Structure 1
């Protein structure tokens, strides 16, 4: 049931009705988690990051967030400011997704800034990470593996350098890089080699956003697995 109101923000137009709203030109992120695939949900609108209230928050909404930010399946749905209280704007309340939407902004909700919440009700989510280290000394060292199309694969050590390792450590929530490893230092595994000739500047939030040859495109042998040793700084929440 449309109210007929139509507003303009930038170059896009949004239609809001009295029951649900849409957000144009938004982004979603997770903050204060143990890695890039966990944390408090925040939505960017009008240049300001704001939180989401936990009224109606369940697995369907969390699944959309995990998909939107490029992480794997939902592991846990969090509410009641599990990852700490945010501050400032609460953008969304009573979000209602089917679970198939490509972005949280495409789900129904009360409308921007329409809520009866406080930050003690901020939502969070824990998604399956899309990067990991295996066969290492701890959770922050080992052979680098990335998840793509539901399958874990390795990274070739062609051009593997400190900027690439820095991104891996940051994405996993493991602090700063201590050392890089080459030539399958942490053991040889068979199966998919997903990435080769990775070239990061060190500021990317995820290894998958760095330049590389393309998923599964490589001329590497299995004895060329890239690895990393990070400073173990994860909290144990």
Structure 2
């Protein structure tokens, strides 16, 4: 699934890929529980706005079945869908969805919410994130999750004190997963912190 033409990864017009083809979803075939599944699948927070035609008209073909999610599934295509196919969906009735931004990755102490020291929330605890080698490419994953555009600088620096940190698995980040899905529970102490912009 993807959200297109919105302000971030977590908002836009919903499209679903099946058989190598992207289709828009008709508003009538989609409800709050379906939205919860999409937001979770994209690594975003809870759905906040569900509205037709919020993000432009649709050229793409329409998805022809109604989703019937329970709300707990991890992916939209894991949900049951109605057997009956419908080919009509009036223009302007494609699903527009806004999920809240993820609330378990943040940059603190910088000039804006898009600059500062990387912290991750895991098991209820905010701690700095540690990673083998930070590059602009890796930093871009964080920036994308926070809807902050491109990464322009990444700098690792030493603090005078050692504090607990969360270890981030590099193979997981390289596979395209959300940063928070790549945090391990391995306890790790470090005096090194990461500043991103």
Distance 2:114 2:131 in 1: 18
Which runs of 5 or more residues in structure 1 are unaligned?
1-27, 230-237
Alpha-carbon distance, 1:48 to partner: 0.9
Distance 2:28 2:127 in 1: 38
1:122 maps to 94
RMSD between aligned residues: 3.4
- Provide the secondary structure at the position in 2 that maps to 1:100: coil
Distance 1:139 1:119 in 2: 37
Alpha-carbon distance, 1:118 to partner: 3.9
2:68 maps to 96
Native 8 Å contact 1:157 1:226 kept in 2: no
TM-score, with length taken from structure 2: 0.76
1:10 maps to none
Aligned residues, how many?
194
Deviations 1:47-76 (A, max 9, x none): 01111111153321111112223333x141
Q: Name whichever structure is richer in strand by fraction.
A: 2
Native 8 Å contact 1:92 1:110 kept in 2: no
1:142 maps to 116
Does 2:142 match 1:173? no
Distance 1:112 1:141 in 2: 49
Alpha-carbon distance, 1:43 to partner: 0.7
Native 8 Å contact 1:75 1:128 kept in 2: no
Distance 1:150 1:84 in 2: 38
TM-score, with length taken from structure 1: 0.65
2:185 maps to 216
Distance 2:69 2:20 in 1: 24
Deviations 1:95-132 (A, max 9, x none): 33221223222334445862421451121231441533
Distance 2:122 2:10 in 1: 14
- Provide the secondary structure at the position in 1 that maps to 2:144: helix
Native 8 Å contact 2:107 2:114 kept in 1: yes
Does 2:189 match 1:228? no
Alpha-carbon distance, 1:46 to partner: 1.0
Which runs of 5 or more residues in structure 2 are unaligned?
none
For 1:184-199, list aligned pairs within 5 A.
Answer: 193-196=165-168, 198=170
